[in-house]
Chain A
Amino acid sequence: MTTLLSIKNLHIGYGGIQAVKGIDIHVEQGELVTLIGANGAGKTTTLKAITGLLKPTAGTIEYDGKNIVGEPTYKIASQGLVLVPEGRGVFPGLTITENLQMGAYSRPRHERASIAEDIEHKFSLFPRLKERAKQTAGTLSGGEQQMLAISRALMARPKLLLLDEPSMGLAPIMVQKIFEVVREVSRRGVTILLIEQNAKLALQVSQRGYVMDGGIVTLSGDSKSLLVDPKVREAYLGEDVAV
């Protein structure tokens, strides 16, 4: 196994406030790793630093063997590190097909045929999207938009997929479906870093997990053992554990 993403001693601050205070995270090729934590723990800030939207104050982010700190977002994205933004971020005025085509923006022109194939493949994964191929993304339900956002990210053939709170604002049944999708995408060989507030589901689908709190990683390890860890259960799964 090779390390695809390796974050070392990452510090990120907004003005004088330190939001992330020295974290170490690594993601191996083919893994599904989750980063959980409450609101304000620094998860999204970390993600923004990985994708180049924020500049860290200290530390390194190595992707595919190369430090990507300071590189602009679009360059990082075109190297196969693709973000599915929080709140989905589909292009509401574009049709579903156009959204998927946009996802393949960084792929070279001569791949046109395989891009078309990929679109068909996404449609076969999500027949719901195919039915509505010519409708605008803004007309889709929240869950469908999330599926579109994930499909669109996959159109770039990512090496590492970053999912920012895919379950946010969705109905419980839809949340289940989205997690099935995440598991399926992972099974097909895409490496995933999943940021979630829904700790239970995130730990159930992932292989390894990191727990963030107050800008530091408080716990990390095998997802199965995190699921039964009393501290995790009490703080994030809302269970009353007698110690």
Chain B
Amino acid sequence: MTHYIDHILPAPLRKHPAVFWVGVVLIAAALAVMPFVLVSHSMTSWVRITNFAILFVFLSLGLNIVVGFAGLLDLGYIAFYAVGAYVYALLASPHFGLHLPFWVILPIGAAVACLFGVLLGAPTLKLRGDYLAIVTLGFGEIVRIFMNNLSEPINITNGPKGIATIDSIKLFGLDFGTTTRIGDFAMPGLIKYYYLLMFMLIIIIIINLRLQNSRIGRAWEAIREDELAARAMGINTINLKLLAFAMGASFGGLAGGVFAAIQGFISPESFTLTESVMILAMVVLGGMGNIWGVVVGALLLSFVPELLRYTVEPAQKALFGRQIIEAEVLRMLIFGFAMVAMMLFRPAGLLPSAVRKRELARKAD
């Protein structure tokens, strides 16, 4: 067991496993109670915000496989999220009259997204850096435009109107879309989703941690460093790059499916380039290649804009008696400042991966 902990733990905690476990129990307890506290303080919307933040953690971790581990810049990652969401929506809504169960659709969604990942990966195997970024950007746009226009001649995606009344997730006879009551105790659907997402998050993080320290993870690292040398070491660079795209895409598809179920409605508008850029920003801000860093980055960029939304207006009213700058405007301003500050002070991210940190230190010499 210690062996696993060594891999998973951030370095400073490795020497004090007892402290670590106490911390884990406390954090787990706090996270378990949190949604009920929020609801009882009539802050239900924050549970919803947290759910979407967790979805963005899924997406960031998926993109991190492609960008952070394998070093392939992908600017169209949201396409896989879109594919996953549409697969779920088409198979579980009145649109086609299909209502397949969650456990059937989720793997299908992930598999279709995986297929799209390979579809994007195969023709771009020889591209790197800027050129790869341009192609992936185009790919993301193509997928979105298809979603927008595939309502004729056969109506598949229902075009810009999107697909509505998508089934909620139902597991073990439990409908995640409604409030469950056991006596006086009420558990709203949002909180059920919260627990489901938390559960999935733990599994996804464990998969990522295991992946990073695996043979595959090390091969990705070698490809990122020097592709030719990696090949000379006997690494099948073609398959491994495709695998990175496919795995990243599967995580995106998975997140998309859950998104469609929680939201109940999807339209191409949710899958714009801005979203791709946002996810990439989460990965970069947190620290490319470092799983914990990426988690922190995704949570920060999900929560801070929401915090601003709730604080900027009242703060200005209290100070100046009226609203001068809108929260939305201020958000982009702060976002820009944060990015510039990051590049100046922590270019490798908030929690940089060991290798990136070394790389940057070397370049500074």
Interface residues of A (CB under 8 A from B): 51, 53, 72-75, 77-78, 82-85, 89-94, 98, 101-103, 105-106, 109, 136, 138-139, 152-153, 156
Q: Report the Cα distance A77→B230, complex, angstroms.
A: 10
List 13 extra interface pairs beyond A74-B235, A90-B226, A136-B362, CB under 8 A. A73-B232, A77-B232, A77-B234, A85-B228, A85-B229, A89-B232, A91-B221, A91-B226, A103-B233, A106-B233, A138-B358, A138-B359, A153-B232
> Interface size for chain B: under 10, 10 to 19, 20 to 34, or 35 or more residues?
20 to 34
Known: A89-B226, A91-B222, A94-B221. A136 touches B358 (CB 8 A): yes
- Given A91-B226, A92-B362, A136-B358, the answer on whether A105 and B232 have CB atoms closer than 8 Å is no
Nearest chain-A residue to B232 (Cβ)? Answer: A83
**Which residues does chain B contribute within 8 Å of A78, judged by CB atoms?**
234
* A–B pairs, 5, beta carbons within 8 Å: A51-B232, A90-B229, A91-B221, A91-B225, A105-B233
* Chain A residues whose C-beta falls within 8 Å of the C-beta of B237 in the assembled complex: 74
A93:B225 contact, CB within 8 angstroms: yes
Are B232 and A82 in contact, CB atoms less than 8 angstroms apart? Answer: yes
A138 to B356 alpha-carbon distance, docked (Å): 13
Interface residues of B in 232-256 (CB under 8 A from A): 232-238
CB of A138 within 8 A of CB of B362, answer: yes
Minimum distance in angstroms from A212 CB to a CB of chain B: 22
Contact string, B214-232, partner A, CB cutoff 8 A, digits 1/0? 0100110110011011111
Give Cα A138 to B360, complex, Å: 11
Most buried by A among B215, B222, B232, B365: B232
Q: Are B218 and A102 in contact (CB under 8 A)?
A: yes
In the complex, which residues 123-162 of chain B have their Cβ closer than 8 Å to any Cβ of chain A?
none
Contact pick for B222, options A53, A102, A138, A139, CB 8 Å: A102
B359 with A89: CB separation less than 8 A? no
A92 and B225 contacting across the interface, CB-CB below 8 Å: yes
Instruction: Give, as a whole number of angstroms, the nearest-CB distance from B327 to chain A.
Output: 40
CA distance A103 to B222 in the complex (A): 10
Contacts of A103 in B (CB 8 A): 233
Which residue of chain B has the shortest Cβ distance to A101 in the bound complex? B218
CA distance A91 to B229 in the complex (A): 8
Which of B233, B358, B362 touches A102 (beta carbons < 8 Å)?
A: B233
Q: Which residue of A lies closest to B236 (CB)?
A: A74
Output the residue of B219, B225, B233, B238 with the most chain A CB within 10 A. B233
B31 within 8 A of A: no
Residues of B within 8 A of A84 (CB): 232
Min CB distance B56 to A, Å, is: 28
Given A85-B232, A101-B218, A105-B233: A94 and B362 within 8 A (CB)?
Answer: no
Give the residues in chain B near A136, CB-CB below 8 Å: 358-359, 362
> Does residue B355 face the partner (Cβ distance < 8 Å to A)?
yes
How far apart sit A156 and B230, CA to CA, in the bound complex (Å)?
A: 13
Cβ contacts B334-365/A at 8 Å (1 or 0 each):
00000000000000000000011011001001
B235 near A105 with CB under 8 A, answer: yes
Cβ–Cβ contact A94 & B229, under 8 A: no
- Contact check: which of B228, B233, B238, B362 meets A93 at CB < 8 Å? B362
B contact residues around A138 at 8 Å (CB): 358-359, 362
Task: Please pick, from A73, A90, A93, A101, the residue contacting B358 in the complex, using a CB distance under 8 A.
Answer: A93
Residues of A within 8 A of B236 (CB): 72, 74-75
Chain A neighbourhood of B238, CB < 8 A: 72
In angstroms, Cα B232 to Cα A136, docked, is 20
Tell me the bound Cα distance from A41 to B359 in angstroms.
36
Q: How far is the CA of A77 from the CA of B221 in the complex (A)?
A: 18
| Shortest distance between the CB of A120 and any CB in chain B (Å) | 20
Tell me, in angstroms, the Cα distance from A139 to B228 when the chains sit together: 20
Give the residue name and chain of the B residue nearest to A95 (CB): B358
- Do residues A105 and B234 form an inter-chain contact, with CB atoms below 8 A? yes
B233 A156 Cβ-Cβ under 8 A: yes
Bound complex: CA A74 to CA B229 (Å): 10
What is the CB-to-nearest-CB distance from A154 to chain B, in angstroms, rounded to a whole number? 12
The winner among A51, A53, A102, A103 for most chain B CB atoms within 10 A is: A102
